């Protein structure tokens, strides 16, 4: 029987990070980070196609490691005043890649608000991004290099709780999970 795998994706043009979490304690997480800045990837459709191909390849790699059970992606920061159109294009590209690459219900990822990601990790939904790296290391012993990777890892751990066999350990984790809707964009007829 293949291992259960959970995926987390932190959306960013300059630090798109993806994580594969396997609940088995002997299996380290797989983390992948990519820079799709204009200087590295061009602009417009060229950049979006590079992102699409990268996310699809990552999900295909995960499928070779086990059974993807759920995917969480970080939602938009609705307080942002600029770059909303670009953020929408990025989000749509990632959702498209997931829909056409992920198996079954995983095609409908859970969209997690940034404050819920922070609360699940630190206990504080308004925690500074800089605290995420420290808390990921303190809580789970995973040493990452930047906050995008930390967010992706936390999202992958949150994805694990879509399976009722995996219960949160702390009250603040439960509170963070209670604020999200699993398979956020799955059509109502399929829920």
Domains and CATH numbers, the chain: 4-190 (3.30.420.10)
Q: Three-class SS of residue 74?
A: strand
Element (H, E) at 111: strand 110-112
Higher pLDDT, 23 or 84: 23
pLDDT at 11 over 80: yes
pLDDT at 81 over 90: no
Nearest to 161 by CA among 179, 142, 174: 174
Higher pLDDT, 78 or 136: 136
Average pLDDT of span 27-31: 96
What band does 77 get if pLDDT is binned at 50, 70 and 90?
confident
How far is it, in rounded angstroms, from Cα 132 to Cα 118?
Answer: 7
**Which pLDDT belongs to residue 2?**
83
pLDDT at 82 over 80: no
- In this structure, of 46-50, 74-78, 183-187, the range with the lowest mean pLDDT score is 74-78
Average pLDDT of span 101-127: 95
Structure tokens at 105: 């219900």
**Which pLDDT belongs to residue 190?**
62
User: Per residue in 44-61, pLDDT tens?
Assistant: 999 999 999 999 999 999
How far is it, in rounded angstroms, from Cα 191 to Cα 185?
Answer: 10
Q: What is the rounded average pLDDT for all residues in the chain?
A: 93
Nearest to 16 by CA among 31, 1, 5: 31
Element (H, E) at 147: helix 147-159
pTM for the complete prediction?
0.95
pLDDT at 79 over 80: no
Other CB atoms within 10 Å distance of the CB of residue 103? 11
How far is it, in rounded angstroms, from Cα 6 to Cα 4?
Answer: 7
Strands 67-74 and 30-34: unpaired
Going by C-beta distance under 8 Å and a sequence separation of 6 or more, which residues neighbour residue 145?
Answer: 33
pLDDT at 89 over 60: yes
**Which pLDDT belongs to residue 83?**
75
């Amino acid at each position: 029987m293949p291992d259960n795998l959970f995926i987390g994706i932190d959306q960013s043009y300059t630090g798109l990070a993806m994580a594969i979490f396997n609940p088995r304690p002997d299996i380290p997480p797989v983390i992948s980070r990519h820079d799709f800045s204009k200087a590295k990837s061009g602009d417009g459709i060229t950049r979006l196609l590079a992102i699409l191909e990268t996310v699809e390849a990552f999900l295909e790699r995960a499928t070779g490691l086990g059974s993807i059970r759920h995917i969480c992606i970080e939602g938009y920061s609705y307080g942002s005043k600029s770059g909303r159109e670009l953020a929408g294009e990025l989000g749509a590209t990632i959702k498209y890649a997931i829909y056409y690459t992920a198996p079954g219900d995983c095609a409908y990822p859970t969209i997690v608000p940034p404050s819920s990601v922070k609360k699940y990790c630190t206990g504080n939904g308004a925690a500074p991004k800089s605290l995420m790296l420290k808390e990921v290391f303190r809580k789970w012993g995973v040493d990452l290099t930047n906050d995008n990777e930390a967010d992706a890892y936390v999202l992958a751990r949150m994805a694990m709780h879509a399976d009722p066999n995996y219960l949160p350990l702390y009250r603040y984790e439960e509170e963070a999970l209670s604020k999200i809707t699993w398979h956020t964009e799955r059509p109502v007829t399929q829920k």
